[in-house]
Structure 1
Amino acid sequence: MTISRRSFLARAAASAAAALAGAPAALHASPPDDRARLAEWVRALRASPAAAEGAPFGPWVSRAAQRMIGAPYAAHTLEQYLDAGGSPGAEPLTLDLARFDCVSLVESALAVARTAAAGGGWDRFAREVERMRYRGGRREGYASRLHYFSEWIADGARRGLVRDVGAELGGENDGRPLRFMTEHRASYAALRDDAVFRAIGGRERALDGVPRMLVPTERIAGVQDRIQTGDVLAFGTAIPGLDVTHTGLAHRGGDGVLRVLHAPLSGGAVEISRSTLPEYVGAIRRATGILIARPLRG
């Protein structure tokens, strides 16, 4: 298994801080060369074949993510505000292009690709991260964060940021209720606050009945030719109350083999998996399959 349940959930639940007004801003100073790094990546992407007129957006995302290969894995990056005594109900925007966990890698790759496609800079990148990370694109406290990745997909699909392709690839609805956060309250510092706990519980109940179209593990090999480079992959789990335990991007290299570009806890750095996608999923303990979202220019 590429990532522990505790590490993934600690990040997914991450935490929070005083609401920031005005233009998007990071709670922690981003690495000093992050702005220069973004500018370099944007220039490279705009000069690449991915930028050709009418080219699909997935290759933009893949090329952005490949720039991140070798960057260290970092857990709990969104919890540091709470660790410093911040308000549990608030949520700052935390940005980092030097280290990643599995979700921040996906968000950053999509945000860099959209920034490059628009010819923008740091403020555009920050806004792109913000509108993916929060429900409806509005950062309104800890509970506005899309803590369950299946909701990240559903919310993004409603707003034209991604297209959920699970159904067309033969996915089956995973109708189990999502209650992991409230049933493991002690694992989430923000949930010590009763108001935040109630808000998260309300969000969990609101997800009841929202389809999660999961392609079962045993069917992935049969549909892998229809999965495109740059597609967002979320790895489903049988853990009660939880939807997924890991995320990444589909990557098809020059050999045509479909692999996973991701930030694994176990390798310590962003990488492309050696195993094929079906092999990779098959090796994850308690894996049930994959959710698949195709990124759009938005």
Structure 2
Amino acid sequence: MNILRNTIFLFIIFTLSNTIKGQDIIYSKPDSLIYEDYIKNFSKDKEKPFSELIINTAKFFLNKPYVASTLEVSENETLIVNLRELDCTTFVENCIVLSGIIKFGRQSFNDYCSLLTYIRYRAGEIDGYTSRLHYTSDWAYENEKKEVLKNISGEIGGQVIAKNINFMSTHPQSYKHLKDNKENLAQIKKIEDSINSRKAYIVIPISAIPANSKDIQNGDIIAFATSADGLDYSHVSIAYWENEQLHFIHASSRMKKVVIEQKTLLDYCKSSKNCTGISIFRINN
């Protein structure tokens, strides 16, 4: 990151570190041991390019089990740290955050928790279930405002897609914090209205991937747009070039673990019944 942005982020981490000490954090001893092992292996890599750091971090998690809904274990919203089991979103979040703390040179567990909170929650603050950034498009939008990343989809063949995002509010029974909570449901509807008002759902169609894949870099975040009604994206991953072909690393629900995807990005999209294209988010560095 450039000097100004790096300074801003160090200030944010310092401020959040002092704040998060008063909050509950749910994690296990194995999680702290995995964190210590990561720091031991990567603390010397501060000067490496961020793209290399995030790829190496992604590989650190290879074969870790895929487990869904690991953030839904608490009745009251609190920071969940689970480095033992990952879904596609928590995998990507952790790759960004862990790479970030190596780059920033602030490597305490509290610093890690602070940056994870900053990326996972609206305005970087935990304020109930709806403060968590549930929709990928909302997560990207909010983290672009925080200067964590940039949505480059429009620069590499992406098109603005008109789609009504309302899956959570129309499927409250699928979410334990919505099905019996009218206040949360009403707030989610407001968030969906805000997402839909932005006109910022930019998707690179599958047909445009071959012409634009050269502009996707190692470590970029790939979000897979879906045809499912009311939903923006169904999956996220980390771009990875291997043998001059574009693949990706992800927590795979099919393989039940973190893997380097054997199919190329294009072949993966073509083989999916619901994929309509991709969006690309680049971490600022």
| Normalised TM-score (structure 2) | 0.88
Q: Given the alignment of the two structures, is residue 152 of structure 1 paired with residue 145 of structure 2, yes or no?
A: no
Secondary structure of 2:203's aligned partner: strand
Distance 1:121 1:236, change over 3 A: same
Cα deviation per residue 1:145-173 (whole Å; 9 max; x = unaligned)?
Answer: 11110111111111111111101111011
Paired position in structure 2 for 1:70? 63
Cα deviation per residue 1:114-135 (whole Å; 9 max; x = unaligned)?
Answer: 1111221211111111111111
- Contact (CA 8 Å) 1:175, 1:209: kept in 2 or not? no
Distance 1:21 1:68, change over 3 A: closer
1:36 shift after superposition: 3.1
Superposed, 1:161-200 pairs within 5 Å as 161-191=148-178, 192-200=180-188
Cα deviation per residue 1:94-117 (whole Å; 9 max; x = unaligned)?
Answer: 011111000000001111101111
Return the match for 2:263 from 252, 261, 275.
Answer: 275
**Equivalent AA in structure 1 for residue 37 of structure 2:** E
Q: Given the alignment of the two structures, is residue 228 of structure 1 paired with residue 217 of structure 2, yes or no?
A: yes
Secondary structure of 1:290's aligned partner: strand
Paired position in structure 2 for 1:9? none
Return the match for 1:37 from 34, 39, 42.
Answer: 34
**Equivalent AA in structure 2 for residue 124 of structure 1:** D
Return the match for 1:47 from 28, 44, 47.
Answer: 44
Paired position in structure 2 for 1:26? 25
Distance 1:189 1:150, change over 3 A: same
Q: Given the alignment of the two structures, is residue 92 of structure 1 paired with residue 92 of structure 2, yes or no?
A: no
Cα deviation per residue 1:18-65 (whole Å; 9 max; x = unaligned)?
Answer: xx96445423x32x23223223323433434xx43xx54222111111
- Contact (CA 8 Å) 2:165, 2:231: kept in 1 or not? yes
Residues matched between the structures, number? 264
1:136 shift after superposition: 1.5
Q: Given the alignment of the two structures, is residue 106 of structure 1 paired with residue 103 of structure 2, yes or no?
A: no
Paired position in structure 2 for 1:115? 101
Secondary structure of 1:245's aligned partner: strand
**Equivalent AA in structure 1 for residue 113 of structure 2:** A
- Contact (CA 8 Å) 1:23, 1:123: kept in 2 or not? no
Which structure is higher in strand share? 2
Distance 1:23 1:107, change over 3 A: farther
Q: Name the Cα RMSD after superposition.
A: 1.7
- Contact (CA 8 Å) 2:165, 2:192: kept in 1 or not? yes
CA distance in 2, matches of 1:145, 1:170: 30
Secondary structure of 1:261's aligned partner: strand
**Equivalent AA in structure 2 for residue 277 of structure 1:** L
Distance 1:219 1:24, change over 3 A: farther
- Contact (CA 8 Å) 2:31, 2:81: kept in 1 or not? no
CA distance in 1, matches of 2:176, 2:111: 31
Distance 1:256 1:45, change over 3 A: farther
- Contact (CA 8 Å) 1:173, 1:214: kept in 2 or not? yes
Q: Which runs of 5+ in 2 are unaligned?
A: 1-18
CA distance in 2, matches of 1:24, 1:293: 30
Paired position in structure 2 for 1:137? 124
- Contact (CA 8 Å) 1:171, 1:216: kept in 2 or not? yes
Secondary structure of 1:79's aligned partner: coil
CA distance in 1, matches of 2:51, 2:145: 19
Distance 1:24 1:225, change over 3 A: farther
CA distance in 1, matches of 2:40, 2:20: 30
Secondary structure of 2:263's aligned partner: coil
CA distance in 2, matches of 1:275, 1:256: 13
CA distance in 1, matches of 2:36, 2:101: 10
Q: Which runs of 5+ in 1 are unaligned?
A: 1-19
CA distance in 2, matches of 1:173, 1:43: 43
The share of aligned pairs that are identical, in percent, is 27
Paired position in structure 2 for 1:10? none
Cα deviation per residue 1:179-207 (whole Å; 9 max; x = unaligned)?
Answer: 11111111111112111111111111111
